[in-house]
Amino acid sequence: MEATVECLVERGWSGTTTTEVAERAGVSRGAQLHHFRTRGELVAAAVEHVGAESVEVLKRRAEIAEKSTHAVVELIADFHASDLFTAALELWVAARTDPELREQVLELQARLGREVYGLALELLDVDDTRPGVKDAVQATLDLVRGLALANQLADDTKRRAHVVRYWARMLEEQL
């Protein structure tokens, strides 16, 4: 699974082949094909696996992190600026024109999205049945996704830090 994500990050969707992944992982092509018939199945499973693992890492980091709104937004923004996001982005772009892959990616995106949303509610210690909370938290997740996208072509760390600080102040007022 990790070899697949590494390959996606380094080579993109078009350069991620089942043969390349099997070589990186040190398994035979037959063993790889036994578990995953298509590149789409392999890549979706890898992103889901690493995504679930990353959510667990995010939870562990949250346990030791400061509990301020700024620290929570920064933590979630850093999570989205990881290699996992880059791998997921490769999948999203490929899924745009591949109906079979699109089905898998939509399911995966929804599941991981719910987990991160729930974790954000927990970390921010807010109740999304209160007016405005659901929209504010979802806007936060959309914002950090956009910031992570901007970071794909050039290091956007400084601007991202400024936007995160600014947004955290606005979010604190809203919540």
pTM of the model: 0.81
Domain membership of residue 86 (yes or no) is yes
Domain membership of residue 59 (yes or no) is yes
Domain membership of residue 143 (yes or no) is yes
Q: Which amino acid is at 51?
A: G
pLDDT tens string 86-101: 888 888 888 889 888 8
CA 119 to the chain's CA centroid: 13
* Mean pLDDT score of the chain: 89
> The tokens of 105 are what?
């990616």
Domain membership of residue 84 (yes or no) is yes
Distance CA 33, CA 67 (A): 45
Domain membership of residue 1 (yes or no) is no
Range of the domain at 144: 52-174
Contact (Cβ atoms closer than 8 angstroms) between residue 21 and residue 33: no
Domain membership of residue 6 (yes or no) is no
pLDDT tens string 9-51: 899 888 889 999 999 999 998 888 889 988 888 887 887 787 7
Distance CA 30, CA 149 (A): 36
Tell me which residue has tokens 């901007």.
150
Domain membership of residue 66 (yes or no) is yes
Distance CA 101, CA 144 (A): 24
Domain membership of residue 152 (yes or no) is yes
Domain count, the chain: 1
